[in-house]
Amino acid sequence: MRDLLAALGLALAIEGILCASFPDAMKRAMMDAAASPRDRLRIVGIASAVTGVAIVWAVKRFV
């Protein structure tokens, strides 16, 4: 649970830094995502989740 909360905090920090540093680019990215088809967003979401779980597993297992 501690690792999950740390990962959530890190994700929020990175997103906050990106929004603060590149507000126009982030706004365009969000508009592009909103205009994307639902299926594409679902596939990207699943791929991101699987990649994230694989990274966490690899770090916990090998590091």
pLDDT for the residue numbered 12: 96
pLDDT for the residue numbered 63: 86
Render the burial of 24-51: b for 16+ CB within 10 Å, e for the rest. eeeeeeeeeeeeeeeeeeeeeeeeeeee
On the question of pLDDT at 3 being above 90, the answer is no
pLDDT for the residue numbered 58: 92
pLDDT for the residue numbered 2: 84
pLDDT in tens, 4-63: 898 899 999 999 999 999 999 999 999 999 999 999 999 999 999 999 999 989 988 998
